[in-house]
């Protein structure tokens, strides 16, 4: 993936990892378009970085994505990079008599179908652009799950598998398929407490390490893994899966 001269669309670009990466790419001279649900936040972020654009996108609204795709193709015909980052996280108590599949359905719609729909909307364009790339955000929890976030972890494992298939099917096209699998990062994904949790990796440090890996093209198999990712990524291969799972899921 080239680091400058791109036109980049970042979904979920108004907070957390998506925002940090959007700002990092913008600061390197790329043309960056971010999406999010709140227009006020889009306006605030883009005002602080002249040249960055913001477009509304609500993946829960069936009409929102087709409208965005039409607008992006008209206004940004040079689009060559898609960063599919939007996602949600919810804890579930599967043992409770009150548990039902509503939370799981929301997670599947946003974390799985949201990514697939965004890729489907822009892939026909990207396949014919030079230096094209699709990068999607899965999670370190795709490799060893936290049991109290059952469907969230499973949705990220789905993306990990699906991106491998996408990469293989696009092998004859000039489209690089990359996967981010972040560790525990200081974002508000699970709530405000995560953003200040000292156990979590600062989001600026995560984005900086990702940018370094991309610049050096250090992403074997298309997986962009920061140092903190590697223990869980290779836990099963290295015979540490059971111990890692037990440490993450005590009792």
pLDDT band at 20; cut points 50, 70, 90: very high
Closest listed residue to residue 135, CA positions, set 222, 57, 217, 68: 222
pLDDT of 60 strictly over 90: no
pLDDT in tens, 141-177: 999 999 999 999 999 999 999 999 999 999 999 999 9
The SS3 call for residue 55 is: strand
CA pair distance 25, 23, nearest whole angstrom: 5
pLDDT of 61 strictly over 90: no
Domain positions in the chain: 7-248
Fold classified for 7-248: Rossmann fold (3.40.50)
Structure tokens at 140: 């370190």
Q: What separation, in Å, do the N-terminal and C-terminal C-alpha atoms of the chain show?
A: 43
Taking each continuous run of H as one helix and of E as one strand, the counts in the chain are 9, 7
Give 215-220 contacts, CB < 8 A, sequence gap 24+: 215/3, 217/1, 219/178
Whether the CB-CB separation of 22 and 13 falls below 8 Å is answered with yes
Catalytic residue among 152, 184, 206, 241: 152
CA pair distance 249, 147, nearest whole angstrom: 7
Does 152 qualify as catalytic in the annotation? Answer: yes
Whether the CB-CB separation of 54 and 42 falls below 8 Å is answered with yes
pLDDT band at 63; cut points 50, 70, 90: confident
The SS3 call for residue 224 is: strand
Structure tokens at 49: 């970085």
54 Cβ contact partners less than 8 Å away, ≥ 6 residues apart: 13, 14, 33, 34, 35, 36, 39, 42, 43, 45, 46
């Amino acid at each position: 993936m080239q680091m400058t001269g791109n036109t980049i669309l970042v979904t979920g670009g108004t907070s957390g990892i998506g925002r940090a990466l959007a700002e990092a790419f913008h600061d390197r001279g790329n043309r960056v378009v971010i999406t999010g649900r709140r227009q006020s936040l889009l306006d605030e972020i883009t005002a602080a970085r002249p040249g960055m654009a913001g477009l509304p996108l609500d993946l829960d609204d069936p009409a929102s994505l087709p409208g965005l795709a039409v607008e992006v193709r008209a206004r940004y015909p040079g689009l060559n990079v898609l960063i599919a980052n939007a996602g949600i996280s919810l804890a579930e108590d599967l043992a409770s008599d009150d548990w039902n599949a509503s939370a799981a359905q929301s997670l599947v719609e946003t974390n799985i179908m949201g990514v697939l729909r965004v890729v489907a909307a822009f892939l026909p364009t990207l396949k014919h652009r030079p230096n094209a790339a699709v990068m999607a955000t899965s999670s370190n929890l795709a490799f060893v799950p936290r049991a109290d976030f059952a469907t969230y972890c499973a949705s990220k494992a789905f993306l990990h598998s699906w991106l491998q298939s996408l990469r293989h099917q696009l092998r004859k096209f000039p489209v690089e398929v990359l996967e981010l699998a972040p560790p525990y990062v200081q974002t508000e994904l699970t709530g405000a407490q995560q953003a200040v949790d000292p156990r979590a990796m600062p989001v600026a440090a995560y984005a900086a390490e990702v940018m370094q890996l991309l610049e050096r093209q250090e992403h074997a198999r298309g997986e962009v893994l920061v140092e903190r990712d590697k223990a869980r990524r290779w836990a099963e291969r290295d015979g540490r899966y059971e111990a890692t799972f037990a440490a993450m899921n005590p009792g």
